[in-house]
Structure 1
Amino acid sequence: MAFVKRQDASIYWNSMGKGEPVVLIMGLGCSSAMWFRIAPQLARNHRVILLDNRGSGQTRTRTALVHRITAMASDVAAVLDAAGESSAHVIGFSMGGMIAQQFAVDNPHRLRTLSLLGTQPGFPWAIQAASPVLRLLLEKAKMSPEDSLRQMRPHTYSRHTADSLFEEDALVRLANTPTPRDYQAQLYGLFYWSVYSQLPNIQVPTLVMHGVDDELIPIENGQLIAARIPGAHLVELENTSHWLMTDANAVCLNTLQQHLKSTTQ
């Protein structure tokens, strides 16, 4: 267990395994514990570095109205410094994919490869979810954590995914629930953020993976990102929604491992 002290925050991070470093960046309202289906397997061949974003898990910040994507990307750089790594393979999911994109354009020299899972390139170019899904996202802070997870389930998990897998995810999320204020501060950080115009500047091998049935961040966003990043490889997962690490764990993990293996020097 370790913390990076920044001017306005104490960023929690840890690592597991040995080898080339891989940084995992989690999504909105979730701690790094939600990488539990991916991190241990990647750690067999890599040093996996995890961190809790501002407003999540064990990271502590001053009270803020907004946790900005740019600040969270800077936190990733600070964690790499603390871990003694000059560069890393970067994998981001959902909001974490937005942080990963920001990190990529801010720190091109620190990026070995990029993997973007179920994410979007920012407003106003991002393809939005349907109004009922957006309304749920905005109202989650007013619901109990249990209610919000169950109401979002039809929009973020495949109908083919077993109840037992959803319940496993729910237990981990409920054990690391952010405060309503921190959830909203992360959500507000997504507003008016974008790196769309800078995506063509990303020059490292990039994997874009997206669930075809994702109702929270529609697949058109993954297609848009892949078209903007030179040479990006797009993988579209059938019968898969937003939580692709759960809906299609074996395929998701194998795709990530192959991407890392093909680019490891």
Structure 2
Amino acid sequence: MAFLQRESGQIHYAAQGKGEPLLILRGLGRSSRYWLGFEKQLAKVFKVIQIDLRGLGRTSVPMGWADGIDDLAEDCVAVLDQLKIKRAHVFGLSLGGMVALRMGSLHPERCRSLMVANSSSADYPGFRVDPFAVKDIVLGRVRGRLHEALLARTIPSAVAKVRGEDILKQWAAIRDEEGLPLNSVLKQIAAAARFTIRGRLKETTVPVLFLYGTLDGLVPHSNTRRMHRLVPGAALQEIKGASHEIHVGHETQLVQVLRDFCEQAS
């Protein structure tokens, strides 16, 4: 466990493993604890750096209403500076994917490659989040069953049947320790609503891979295909049977996909 000092507090991060550095970034309202051990599998191949974004987990820097995806990206670059890492591969899930893309546009010299899963942007019309999923999650929150609603929308049903109870217990333990950072989530939503990538990235500068789970019940994967078209030369790959939490139930496959892409990019 380590911390980066910023003007308004500290950014929490952790590093483990050997190999090429890989920065991994979680999505909306999720601290690094919510990788649920996936980082340990990645650490068999990479030097993995995980970060709690502003307002989340063990990070004390608050997320402000004026903060954007740019600010989150700058925090990540500052962590790399503290670790004396000149260039890293970056894997971002959902909102974490937005942060990865902004790192690539603001600091392409610091990124070996960008891998973005189940994300979205404001560059095109359409639903960035399934409206029925929003309804289910809001109702789950009101009924005191938020994580059950999230499980149904972000974990494949086949995986949930086998591992659902254990996942819910792990999520509950994290919630008991960190709380539910609703204020930070709302500010992240505001930042995500303003996020665009059109004209900011070129695959020739930083290799980019867009990924989506074919069973994503939260973010329609049409978003991923539209984002892919906005980055000339970017690669696109689906993970069949995966949902929004693209690694859950597909850990081995995803590690191999990320490893293969990073090797091609190096």
Could you tell me the TM-score, scaled by structure 1's length? 0.88
Shift of 1:66: 5.7
User: Aligned residue for 2:259?
Assistant: 257
User: Aligned residue for 1:134?
Assistant: 134
User: Aligned residue for 1:194?
Assistant: 196
User: Aligned residue for 2:112?
Assistant: 112
Change (3 A) 1:176 1:41: same
Aligned AA for 1:114? L
Could you tell me the TM-score, scaled by structure 2's length? 0.88
2:168 to 145, 170, 176: 170
Aligned AA for 1:166? G
Equivalent pairs, count: 262
Shift of 1:69: 1.5
Task: Give yes or no for contact 2:225–2:236 (8 Å, CA) kept in 1.
Answer: yes
Task: Give yes or no for contact 1:240–1:247 (8 Å, CA) kept in 2.
Answer: yes
The reply to whether residue 159 of structure 1 matches residue 157 of structure 2 is: yes
Change (3 A) 1:66 1:55: farther
Cα distance in 1, alignment partners of residues 143 and 108 from structure 2: 40
Change (3 A) 1:123 1:135: farther
User: Aligned residue for 1:234?
Assistant: 236
SS in 1 for 2:188: helix
Change (3 A) 1:73 1:172: farther
Change (3 A) 1:199 1:126: farther
Aligned AA for 2:228? A
Shift of 1:158: 1.7
Task: Give yes or no for contact 1:104–1:202 (8 Å, CA) kept in 2.
Answer: no
User: Aligned residue for 2:210?
Assistant: 208
User: Aligned residue for 1:225?
Assistant: 227
Task: Give yes or no for contact 1:123–1:191 (8 Å, CA) kept in 2.
Answer: no
| Structure 2 alignment gaps of length 5 or more | none
Residue deviations 1:54-79 (CA, integer Å, cap 9, x gap): 12110012473465312111110111
Shift of 1:195: 2.0
Cα distance in 2, alignment partners of residues 140 and 88 from structure 1: 38
Cα distance in 2, alignment partners of residues 111 and 98 from structure 1: 14
Task: Give yes or no for contact 1:73–1:99 (8 Å, CA) kept in 2.
Answer: yes
Shift of 1:128: 2.6
Aligned AA for 2:181? T
Task: Give yes or no for contact 2:207–2:234 (8 Å, CA) kept in 1.
Answer: yes
Cα distance in 2, alignment partners of residues 63 and 104 from structure 1: 22
Moved more, 175-184 or 90-99: 175-184
User: Aligned residue for 1:11?
Assistant: 11
Residue deviations 1:217-251 (CA, integer Å, cap 9, x gap): 11111112222223222111222221110142222
Cα distance in 2, alignment partners of residues 197 and 115 from structure 1: 18
Cα distance in 1, alignment partners of residues 129 and 12 from structure 2: 31
Identity between Structure 1 and Structure 2 (%): 26
Residue deviations 1:71-105 (CA, integer Å, cap 9, x gap): 11111011101111111000100110011111111
User: Aligned residue for 2:101?
Assistant: 101
User: Aligned residue for 2:60?
Assistant: 60
Task: Give yes or no for contact 2:121–2:193 (8 Å, CA) kept in 1.
Answer: no
